Structure 1
Amino acid sequence: MKNKFRGTLVGAAIGDSMGMCVEEIPFDEVILHYGDKITNICEPHPDSPASHLHAGETSSEFEIIKIITESLISKKGIDIKDIIRRYIEWEEKEEIHNYVDPYFLLAVDALKKGKELERGGNSIEGALPGIPIGMFHYTNPILAVEGTKAVVMLTHRNEIVIDSASVLSVAVGELLQGRFYIEDEYPYFIELLKTFVQNEESKKYLNKVKNLVDRKATVEEAIENLGNGSYALEALSLSLFIFIINSSDTEKVIIDSVNSYGNYGGDTDSIALIAGALAGAYNSEESIPSRWKVSLKKYPEIVKLAEKLYHVVKH
């Protein structure tokens, strides 16, 4: 189980690190600049929002996961006051969140000033706390969803983001437990996820994922049907689709999700982060290629973070 915890965070970090290189970069420009699709950790494209970062670093998306994980470890549970404090400290370090969802920062600023939170945006970034909270409550999906909602609603009251976060928390927990053989049992997996969402549009997207897998659709067809933007249901659904069709092959999950920019560019770091987390939870850290791990800047730190969370959860 410890290796599955490691796989979840390392998979997320590598997906983010590779995906940020081509975020919002269209297919033609990726090929022109890199010569082929991305298969290794590399320097971000000059036009990527992450162009200020270096190869092997992670973006603000993974930083959100790290903040929640560190709080869970420190407080041995969900401590809303501690998370708010950590969010505010992070928001004040402008250099590390140059292109995070502006609604996220506005929400944190509202927390700092004691103002009433607005509904917020519908970006997938708001749903990312579902990953570490799903790890913390991996044996109990009901607690995972309750905890996830409490944390997500600090920054987003948007029902689409709350549904997406709930799906993430349950999916991670189920995969860590190994309760589904995804290759054959994905319909049951998706049906379970649907029971934890409230919005009809969320259910519609999950049904689309199942239908695309059923008909053996390609990633390109999935992008056309689901989208690949930062809208929470697009990024979540595409990540889920790519994970399911390649579930036993973590390397392919990450490569396909990193290269999900399509003809017009997409939110590839969020998509690859989520898909990498799902694959890492399902297949454990050993399934992640060593060439990526040695190129990930804070690999030892991320492994230690996962192991600390595991020990908190087990005790």
Structure 2
Amino acid sequence: MRYLLGSRFRGVFLGGLVGEALAQSSQLKHPIGGDFAQSVVPGATSLIKLGKFDIDDWLEIYQQKFTHLEPSKIIFATIPISVFFHENPVKLHQNLLRLLKNWDSNLEIRDSTLAIGYAIAQSLTEKLHPQTLIPQIIAFIGETNTSLPQNLLKVNNLLERRASLERVQAELDSQGTFSNEIALAFYYFLSTLEDFPLAVLRSIRHDEIWQKHSDNLYFPNTSVITGLLSGVYNSNTSIPVNWRVSLTRQLSQISQVLELADALATTWSGVYEPGLNSQEFAHEESLMSNENIPPCVYAAPRVIRAR
């Protein structure tokens, strides 16, 4: 195994959070107000508390927390499901669709969520191959009337031709649709597959350019999606220490999401951690202490179970 699974769990949450925080600090015209952490924490907490996906519990906690779920919040809220069911594509597909159906999301959100969820699962199972990922995602989405499969195919072709960034942006920015933004995030991720900092910085530059020419707040933040995709593939060890240290001063959520990722990993694996289900996710621990102290877990024989 190239990276520890727990390190990849951390990577998806910390990558999204870092991508969002860097975008906020880059003097964007319309900065995003912490949607990522607010969206992923309730669902992940439910999975940890119950040890399974309970649709009624999810609907209740999200209805209490949000009066309205914007497209980006819906996508981010499904990330814990993609992490928790990464080893079972059938259950991953079923559970994502169950949740999206109850949230009455449109087809573009559905297809975007499935695409991101499948990519996360492939990274966690170490089956992600850049040459085959996009065709596999399109098959995972299935028959659809949205433009996302066509946009992803454009990305695949442009990557094969090693097209310039300007060429990619010209082809995918022309319509300015939701699907275009998702496809661009996949481009930034796949074109710099082994380089988390470069992938995120390029996506942030795109956000800066796009928001200078648009007053529309409907689109998700491309840098968040790029960050979580690259984070789960390269693990949290790929995220520069100086970024994490500097952002610790700004983001109280960093220690929370790292604890959340560790607890979700232990719950997924079936191991027992004393006080896991009753613990309150604290904010006071520093990032560096979180990095140096691995979760303390204990397992009985044959306790790891298939779902």
Q: Compute the TM-score of the two structures, normalised by the length of structure 1.
A: 0.74
**Aligned match of 2:164 in 196, 215, 218?**
218
Whole-angstrom distance in 2 between the partners of 1:231 and 1:87: 26
1:284 counterpart = 2:284: no
In the alignment, which residue of structure 2 is the partner of 1:24? Answer: none
Equivalenced residues, count: 255
**Residues 136 and 313, structure 1, Cα contact 8 Å, conserved in 2:** yes
Q: Deviations over 1:164-221 (max 9, x none)?
A: 11111111010111113xxxx4221111111111314232111111012112223333
SS in 2 for 1:216: coil
Whole-angstrom distance in 2 between the partners of 1:8 and 1:191: 22
Whole-angstrom distance in 1 between the partners of 2:175 and 2:257: 27
**Residues 138 and 173, structure 1, Cα contact 8 Å, conserved in 2:** yes
1:140 counterpart = 2:88: yes
Whole-angstrom distance in 2 between the partners of 1:223 and 1:235: 10
Whole-angstrom distance in 2 between the partners of 1:275 and 1:263: 16
Q: CA RMSD in A?
A: 2.4
Stretches of 4+ aligned residues off by more than 6 angstroms? 266-269
1:6-155 aligned within 5 A: 6-21=10-25, 38=26, 44-45=27-28, 47-50=29-32, 59-91=34-66, 104=69, 123-155=71-103
**Aligned match of 2:6 in 2, 8, 14?**
2
| CA drift at 1:127 | 2.7
**Residues 18 and 269, structure 1, Cα contact 8 Å, conserved in 2:** no
**Residues 11 and 285, structure 1, Cα contact 8 Å, conserved in 2:** yes
1:229/1:10 Cα in 2 relative to 1: closer, same or farther (>3 Å)? farther
In the alignment, which residue of structure 1 is the partner of 2:287? Answer: none
**Residues 37 and 257, structure 2, Cα contact 8 Å, conserved in 1:** no
In the alignment, which residue of structure 1 is the partner of 2:139? Answer: 195
In the alignment, which residue of structure 2 is the partner of 1:252? Answer: 198
Runs of at least 5 residues in structure 1 that lack an aligned partner in the other structure: 22-37, 39-43, 54-58, 93-101, 106-122
Identical positions, percent: 21
1:288-307 aligned within 5 A: 288-294=239-245, 295-296=247-248, 297=251, 298-307=253-262
Whole-angstrom distance in 2 between the partners of 1:86 and 1:231: 30
Match for 2:221: what amino acid?
Answer: S
| CA drift at 1:236 | 1.5
Q: Deviations over 1:203-251 (max 9, x none)?
A: 2111111012112223333222223998431221111110000010011
